[in-house]
Structure 1
């Protein structure tokens, strides 16, 4: 049975031929990988159903470049780039295993613009894109779908539950394990320093901190908000340290915030780990240099998943049934050990 638009899908071909979608894809793109009788059966079903691969799959068969585009924000915050650059490294190292390579292009806008993607498509430099810095109202998914260009996103496609081509870090889980670690170390109270309410990423991380208190029937610890800036984080940390008190701890939504807490604590003569527990998020170079405990992002696992997803989409497979939420780990350093 074909779709309402009258166009058979690769899943329907696979079901009718009794093979996997990958076998259908190989029959179209790499027929040498499929045994003769199976290849003949798949081709017969393709003819019977009138299946036509997408533009992306046709491109893959005829003139695929093997390149995946990734946009870099050249003027983004230090914390944003502290995550995106290691992620590009993970993509670049894992791409050959998925028969591809990464091509980066830049922007100087706070939010990604379509112009860079249009230029890359017009120049036929890439076959697909991996998106980052996703946000509510992001115009890129609709434009790429309209252009029939496969994409996968590092980050949830906020406000668009019907879009499933993504993988993201489970921020709530990250703050949960950070908060549980701080309590297990014997810190009396665990406060929270995050972004102003309304940040999807920040709100997600705060939920993990709040959930630990709810699970333990503990009153919420003190909390403060700041923009992603070291000076603002340091200023917000001062009153928060007063509320948490010596012997308490602060779980932070980013490593930049954790650095701000450390500086504010040092200004009053408190030692990280001994007098105040501090935990950041992202396990960035900032955390490594300052010996800050931090939630570690599973970048290689996410890179592998997104590259594999693109490989499937380029082969004609439909989007996955759901996005992938990956649980992070915790890199423990001296800022949270007593």
Structure 2
């Protein structure tokens, strides 16, 4: 696997704490520090705690290449199970973890799940890496100013991410789903179905995923010449506000006349708010107001909600390929599909009725 060499400047590398610094600070031998890193069961609890405290204070992390000289490959990769990321991205991260497990090569790709450290993003990665149980990581829930990719590059640790490294375009070891393309597809579908005033319900500006999906909506309108001067849209910070925002958006659209109104949403949860708002004014989703969500959850299928479906299983297989096969090139941007149901067609009997 080719490894990115971006990292700290030479002066910063020279200032990095060494195993000698840790040993001196903790008042122990270098061998004791090595045991703490590689054989903690051999170290008395008070000494283990003292050395670990100095390791954390000095920010010491041995290069993985040096560790690999002392041990065999683990043939396993770490995956951070972060509740905050799962709240932001809904069920997709759960589905990705399942598909990643299913697609793991039996001889070279086991997963080791670990929890984040609430005080320092990198602490859990340091501890998991120095434990010797993983050779690298699969990242998810990437975001702007994400410290994990540059740190892993500096440590020469193999990794791949599910999600673009948004503000570091030079990093290419990622697979992602083209959310903008999925939303454009939804806009074209609605226009074909006879809806000409298509609003947007999304998240506040600043969310990379949300902004990408909104761009797809705006581009779809421009491509079709639909109401590009004064498009109707609302954003929702808290899901508890989804129904209220949806009612405001639907009311604004309907005030211009009924019969050709639709709303595309950044997620299925937001789309459910729109469906409730439509029913609240005595109308029927699809027949009177078109509604499209994103993620194609089980709830979407149960409520006959048209939704953009992400190819998560393909993303998982691609992630393993990028991680283990040096011949594969990244990045990989996958196209989603649109599952059409009753919420976006005039005649519900013509809908697919399921994924």
Which of the five TM-score ranges fits, normalised by the shorter chain?
Answer: 0.7 to 0.9
8 Å Cα contact 1:261-1:278 kept in structure 2: yes
Distance in 2, Cα, partners of 1:102 & 1:146 = 22
8 Å Cα contact 1:79-1:256 kept in structure 2: no
Q: 1:79 to 1:289 in 2, by over 3 A?
A: farther
Helix, strand or coil for the counterpart of 2:301?
helix
1:204 aligns with 2:212: yes
Q: 1:108 to 1:295 in 2, by over 3 A?
A: farther
CA RMSD in angstroms, aligned pairs only: 2.6
**Which residue in 2 is equivalent to 1:252?**
265
8 Å Cα contact 2:96-2:312 kept in structure 1: yes
Among residues 86, 91, 97, which one is paired with 1:88 in the alignment?
Answer: 97
Among residues 235, 242, 247, which one is paired with 1:233 in the alignment?
Answer: 242
1:12-36, Cα deviation, whole Å (9 max, x unpaired): xxxxxxxxxxxxxxxxxxxxxxxxx
Q: 1:217 to 1:297 in 2, by over 3 A?
A: same
Helix, strand or coil for the counterpart of 1:91?
helix
Helix, strand or coil for the counterpart of 2:81?
strand
Normalised to the residue count of structure 1, the TM-score between the two structures is: 0.76
Q: 1:195 to 1:187 in 2, by over 3 A?
A: same
Among residues 137, 149, 168, which one is paired with 1:160 in the alignment?
Answer: 168
1:183 aligns with 2:188: no
Distance in 2, Cα, partners of 1:58 & 1:256 = 45
Higher relative contact order (CA 8 A, sep 6+): 1
Among residues 314, 333, 339, which one is paired with 1:331 in the alignment?
Answer: 339
**Which residue in 2 is equivalent to 1:41?**
none
How far the C-alpha of 1:159 sits from its partner, in A, is 0.9
Helix, strand or coil for the counterpart of 2:320?
helix
Number of equivalent positions: 279
**Which residue in 2 is equivalent to 1:134?**
142
Among residues 301, 305, 318, which one is paired with 1:305 in the alignment?
Answer: 318
- The equivalences for 1:62-77 within 5 A come to 63-76=72-85
**Which residue in 2 is equivalent to 1:14?**
none
Structure 2: gaps (5+ residues): 6-62, 347-355
Among residues 253, 270, 273, which one is paired with 2:283 in the alignment?
Answer: 270
Distance in 2, Cα, partners of 1:176 & 1:58 = 48
1:114 aligns with 2:105: no
Distance in 1, Cα, partners of 2:167 & 2:84 = 26
Distance in 2, Cα, partners of 1:74 & 1:106 = 9
Normalised to the residue count of structure 2, the TM-score between the two structures is: 0.72
Distance in 2, Cα, partners of 1:117 & 1:265 = 46
Among residues 273, 289, 292, which one is paired with 2:305 in the alignment?
Answer: 292
Distance in 1, Cα, partners of 2:270 & 2:95 = 19
Structure 1: gaps (5+ residues): 6-53
Distance in 1, Cα, partners of 2:221 & 2:69 = 51
**Which residue in 2 is equivalent to 1:147?**
155
